[in-house]
Amino acid sequence: MSSGVVVDQTVIEAFNDIKLKKRHAYVVMMIKDKKKIVVESLGDKLPLNCSQSRNEDIFKGMKKAFGNEPRYILFDFCFTRPNQTTAQKLAFISWELFPKNDNNNDDNRVTASNQFALPVLAYLMWTQHWPVTELRSIDREARKIICENGGKHPLSSTAMLYLPRDKGGRGLRSVQQEYKLTKIKSSIKLHQNSDPTMRLVQKFEERAIEKGFTSLIKEACKYTEELGTSLTLNYPNPSCSSHQAPNISISGKKVKGYLRKSVTEKLLEEVKCELWHRRFLCATWQDKDLSGDECFNWLRDWKSAPTHTITGLLELYEQLTPTRVYTKLKTGTSQGETTCKLSGGATETLTHVLAWCPALAQSKYLDRHNAVLKVLFFEVCKELELVDSVPPWYSLVSAKPVYESSDAQAYWDVPVCTDEVPIGKKMIYASSKDALKKCFTGLNTEFQCTDPAEFQHSELVKEMVQKDRV
């Protein structure tokens, strides 16, 4: 299976036991570590001549054992026919892949699609020929459902949905793209196989091209071209090479990884072409000061992140927050004014709201900034023995204006004047150079201390103040 989920031997045994030998009323299976389908629990044998109501009780009992986690269940149903005879039927249930409550997070939903729904189709992709337009419409339907359930902004970029999560996407797999990849892989496999029967199939496909029929080989070549790659199908060493580097041929086990990478690159290119959406995303990918690989770690590692949180944050990245500029220029739902509703002056763009707006700078920014700086401030004060304990980051305690001891002073929101200019509000002075140095190195910040006597005049203070104002 392309999803990498394998079926454990115990599942096969349990299946035979329930199907052929009627040893259990049910088998509950689960996916362990996203890798393996294993048996979670087995029901007792059904009582002799089990009635429908007794059967229902067994079902309810089984249901209690697991909450909203996805499960696969084989259940032996007993029911009364219209003619009052009792019948028994084994049913397969794929349990609660999309429950409505909040326990089911975004990661689970994407997993559900990638690992449960897609393999059902993927299995057939190796042998069946499907018109790409049909597959495209499956993708479109899937996106529609995601949009309708608040998983995606209706105007957000489609490519973003399919980008890997560490690039800021959602990691969904497109049915259409999977189909194309499968065709490429199967034609490569066909040209690696030395089995004489497979050589016949290969000949058959080659003949189909000559006759002008649809052929696996022709399709595969077309799909690799779409990924900016050429496919060379030589028996027994088929290979592919990127258009950018035609001399480097990729073959064997490397092909699979290479193709995935090309798909990601194609999606990245698509996002880069989207004038409206790309702005912050491209800035994030290109910023040398940010580690591009870690920027979106939260999306990959925060497994329980609710969908609405992710959707909301990605709307910020894609500039889809309904600012005045957005409603006038992007959606056209408003006319006229684009100036900021709060401050009046500048244009109401997302950047303005997030980082510039002077109306917000008075209050909201300061609150946010102080909440972060407070943590650092208390740590330093503790180190200098100005306070006894550091309140936790989430506490509502705010710093007092002045903390003083014989060797150190700390000011919070107190204007301090130097000879030239009034600077700063949040300051820490210490009489001992070492003490201060220790604090700052201990806190692992960029601040390096010079002589405490010079400290208040140094560039460093200005730097600190500047940082404070950001």
- Least gap, CB of 365 to Zn ion (angstroms): 11
DSSP H helical ranges for 149-244: 158-162, 175-192, 196-211, 216-226
Give the residues across from 36 on adjacent strands. 6, 32
- Least gap, CB of 344 to Zn ion (angstroms): 7
> Is 172 or 357 the residue whose CB approaches Zn ion more closely?
357
Residue 340 sits in the site that holds Zn ion (CB under 5 A) = yes
The total of other beta-carbon atoms located within 10 Å of residue 131's CB is 8
- Least gap, CB of 353 to Zn ion (angstroms): 7
**463 vs 461: CA distance, rounded Å:** 5
Residue 361 sits in the site that holds Zn ion (CB under 5 A) = no
* 112, 198, 305, 342: residue in contact with Zn ion (rule CB under 5 A): 342
Interface stretch with Zn ion, choices 26-34, 73-81, 162-170, 340-348 (CB under 5 A): 340-348
**421 vs 413: CA distance, rounded Å:** 16
Q: Torsion angle, CA of 378/383/388/392, rounded to 10 degrees?
A: 40
- Least gap, CB of 331 to Zn ion (angstroms): 20
86-95 and 239-242 beta bridge pairing: unpaired
SS3 194: coil
Interface stretch with Zn ion, choices 63-71, 194-202, 316-324, 334-342 (CB under 5 A): 334-342
* 343, 347, 431, 456: residue in contact with Zn ion (rule CB under 5 A): 343
- Least gap, CB of 333 to Zn ion (angstroms): 20
> Is 18 or 357 the residue whose CB approaches Zn ion more closely?
357
Q: Are 34 and 70 in contact (CB under 8 A)?
A: no
**96 vs 3: CA distance, rounded Å:** 20
Interface stretch with Zn ion, choices 18-26, 98-106, 184-192, 332-340 (CB under 5 A): 332-340
> Is 343 or 370 the residue whose CB approaches Zn ion more closely?
343
Phi–psi pair at 413, nearest 5 degrees: 60, 35
Phi–psi pair at 98, nearest 5 degrees: -130, 60
36-42 and 6-7 beta bridge pairing: parallel
> Is 66 or 365 the residue whose CB approaches Zn ion more closely?
365
Interface with Zn ion: number of residues (CB under 5 A):
4
> Is 309 or 334 the residue whose CB approaches Zn ion more closely?
334
Binding site for Zn ion (CB under 5 A): 340, 342-343, 357
